[in-house]
Amino acid sequence: MPELPEVETMRRGIAPAVGMRIDRVEIPRGRLRPLLIEPAPPQFASHVRGSVLEAAERFGKRLALRLRATDAKSSRARLATAATPRWLVVEPRMTGLLLVAEPPTQEHVRLRLGGESPAGRPAELLFWDRRGLGTLRLVDADGLARLCGEDRLGPDALEISAAELITRLGGSARAVKVALLDQKALAGVGNLYAAEILFRAGIDPRTRCSRLSRPRWRRLHAVMQEVLAEAIELEGSTLSDATYRTALNEPGRYQARHQVYGRAGQPCQVCGTDVTRIVQAQRSTFFCRACQVR
DNA sequence: CGTTCAACCTGGGCGC
DNA sequence: TGCGCCCAGGTTGAAC
């Protein structure tokens, strides 16, 4: 679910919590697999408790929350925290959410916020994940580089230049839709926005990257910026299952703009041709056979 | 290089 | 009503 626009919306939604101290960490027993939370809950909680949320940064579809340790009670804790700047890396995957309002059902992790709390500041930060495929990982600077560094993620889709996009993907033999999903090449675009971007660019998703002309790459680049910016403006896409919510537990509004995603068999809003669904790399691809050409 | 499959999970929708 | 199946905004590693 969450792609770049949804994760950016999440980042902005929790921004009011930046500067606040995490006074308590509550992790319901038996609800978190090792894959989902690292280190294991007792260590995770003891490391996070007492720290101040200093910043929330987005890397593609991931969020990294920078934590600073404060007034550690024991010298042992002070040593440990001073030696390792800590980042809480949140990877929502399909259904993970960060919320400052009550989640739809029991949350997975609840961080109670304290310290200076002027009116309007959230009292809690919640992680909720219906399918439980997301991850929360507490890491040091090396760990952050391993999870979000340039070996792992390509340039952010909102920041990459047209020239760099062409350099990174232009020579590939893969279908352009598949290449756009490659987070090592380009970070942030997922299945939904890849479909919408290619529709607006008029490009058949099956076209091999190496067959696209430079003008078409530049068009694709410009359209990618437009689509992502509009989706952020409308706080992301909430699909029919309503899983994705903003940090305030409200639906996004970009779904009203979808031209092809999830619209198989319905008429293209530009030309009336039925939208087609195919499968590429085991994922659904939606496109208009008339508007999108090779 | 590239593709393909399975795995991690829950839950909604559909046909029978 | 219920069962079995397919589907889903993502990522990863193995096999070919």
Nearest DNA or RNA nucleotide to A255 (CA to C1') = C9
Contact call for residues A199 and A172 (beta carbons, < 8 A) = no
- At A155, give phi and psi (nearest 5°): -60, 150
Residues of chain A whose pLDDT is less than 70?
1, 31, 71-85, 104, 106-107, 115-118
Q: How far is the CA of A269 from the C1' of C14 (A)?
A: 42
| Domains along chain A with CATH numbers | 4-148 (3.20.190.10), 162-257 (1.10.8.50)
Which backbone phi and psi does A224 adopt, to 5 degrees?
A: -60, -45
Confidence (pTM):
0.94
pLDDT of residue A56: 97
Q: Provide the CA A54 to C1' C11 distance, Å, integer.
A: 28
* CB within 8 Å of A63: residues ≥ 6 apart: A7, A10, A11, A56, A57, A89, A90, A92, A98
**DSSP reduced 3-state for A275:** coil
- What b/e readout covers A139-149, taking b as 16+ CB neighbours within 10 angstroms? beeebbeebbe
The nucleotide minimizing the C1' distance to residue A6's CA is C9
Strands A86-91 and A135-139: antiparallel
Concatenate the DSSP letters of all residues of A34-48 into one string: TTTEES-HHHHHHHH
Nearest residue (CA) to C1' of B6: A282
C-beta atoms surrounding A283 within 10 Å: 14
Nucleotides of C under 7 A from a protein CB: 7-12
Residue A33 beta carbon within 7 A of nucleic strand B: yes
Backbone angles phi, psi at A68, to 5 degrees: -120, 130
- What is the structure's pLDDT at A263? 96
CB A279 under 7 Å to nucleic chain B = no
pLDDT of residue A84: 64
A210/A215 Cα distance (integer angstroms): 13
* Distance, CA of A213 to CA of A176 (rounded, Å): 12
Helices (H) and strands (E) in chain A, counts: 8, 11
Say whether the CB atom of A175 is under 7 angstroms from strand B.
Answer: yes
- pLDDT score for A108: 79
Q: Of all nucleotides in the shown strands, which has a C1' nearest the CA of A31?
A: B9
CA–C1' span, A105 to C1, in Å? 26
User: Can you give the distance from the CA of residue A175 to the C1' of nucleotide C16 in angstroms?
Assistant: 20
How far, in Å, CA of A238 to CA of A254, rounded? 8
Q: Containing H/E element for A206? A: none
